[in-house]
Homo-oligomer: A and B are copies of this chain.
Amino acid sequence: MEEITGKWLIETVYPDLAVMLRVQQVLFSGRTEYQQVEVLESDLYGRSLVLDGKTQSTERDEHIYHESLVHPAMLFHSDPKSVFIGGGGEGGTLREALSHNTVERAVMIDLDQQVVELCREYLPDHHKGSFDDARVELLHRDARAYLGEAGEQFDVMVMDLVDPMEGGPAYLLYTRQYYEIAKARLREGGLLVTQSGPAGLLSHQECFTTINRTLLATFAHCVGYQVHVPAFQTLWGFNIASDSPIPDLAAAEVDRLLLERLGQELAFYDGESHLSMFNLPKFLRKGIAEETRINLDEAPVFMV
């Protein structure tokens, strides 16, 4: 029983189910202007970033999440030169975007400057110095306000945001109005990808299917996909949208493009992983097909 004594992070996964993680060290704990932040160290996950009690990413498995979020949309574009990143404070999304040799410019906007600074300090294995890349412009302001201004356009937009929780800072970055604003900043042939919450049998209707439908109300095409992220305890969903057709890449083509663009293999994402991600379990296809809700500014669908 001594084993149970200690510091634990408990996190709800579904109603009536929570996960207990033993924490070895609390490297940082405090409130920024926007949220409660913890940087934790556990034997299981290494260092984790936790915002308002929810694990955002961990050293041990962040590569699955960040590679899955970034690379499919990048490969679906024939020549992604400029990338916009909304959120993504840990720097892992930025790191993956910059790994494409086509990229000449990346604009990253994360509202919470303190979180980004904490990540720079405490999560070097997440960002791997990407914040210092000369191609990067880093801004700390509201992404929606920024995109709403006239300005440069991007080939790929990556929304790496916290989930659309009621009262949370991000739910207005998942609505049709937001996607219309973002779309105006996409170059022709551009794609937008957003993390889309849990996509397991018991959770895919929390926000994944709604985000898919909301993007389809704004863009001509939208493709959902999923991957298992251990620290999220379930399948995790993403949606890619574009007004141009989204190609159906064969495994070999994915592998060829990655080698051409990155010059090396990735830890998780490759051609066969791509197939496991884009061939959806039947319940996800059914969930998308049957979903009728759309996120609107005036009527958002919050995660439960």
Contacts and interface: CB of A to CB of B under 8 A. Distances in A.
A162 B88 CA distance: 41
Contact of A270 (B7, B38, B233, B282): B282
A72 interface: no
Nearest to A229: B201
A15 B8 CA distance: 13
A3 B3 contact: yes
Contacts of A285: 272
Interface string A1-23: 11111111111111111111111
A16 B22 contact: yes
Interface stretch (A53-61, A131-139, A150-158): A53-61
A177 to B, nearest CB: 27
A272 B280 contact: yes
Interface of A: 1-23, 25-27, 29-30, 38, 42-44, 53-54, 60-61, 64, 200-202, 227-228, 230, 233-235, 251, 266-270, 272-273, 275-276, 279-283, 285
Contact of A26 (B29, B228, B266): B29
- Number of identical protomers: 4
Nearest to A42: B16
Contacts of A18: 1, 4-5, 19-20
Nearest to A64: B201
Contacts of A38: 7, 26
Nearest to A29: B26
A54 B4 CA distance: 12
Prevailing SS type, chain A contact patch: mixed
Nearest to A271: B279
B53 A5 contact: yes
Name which of A60, A61, A230, A273 has the most chain B CB atoms within 10 A of its CB. Answer: A230
Contacts of A22: 1, 16-17
A294 B302 CA distance: 43
A2 B12 contact: yes
B275 A282 contact: no
Nearest to A228: B235
Contacts of A42: 16
Contacts of A6: 9-10, 53
Contacts of A1: 3, 12, 15-18, 22
B270 A276 contact: no
A36 to B, nearest CB: 9
A75 to B, nearest CB: 15
Given A272-B285, A281-B273, A282-B268, A4 B14 contact: no
A279 B270 CA distance: 11
A44 B21 contact: no
A29 B270 CA distance: 40
A3 B3 CA distance: 8
A14 B279 CA distance: 27
Contacts of A227: 281
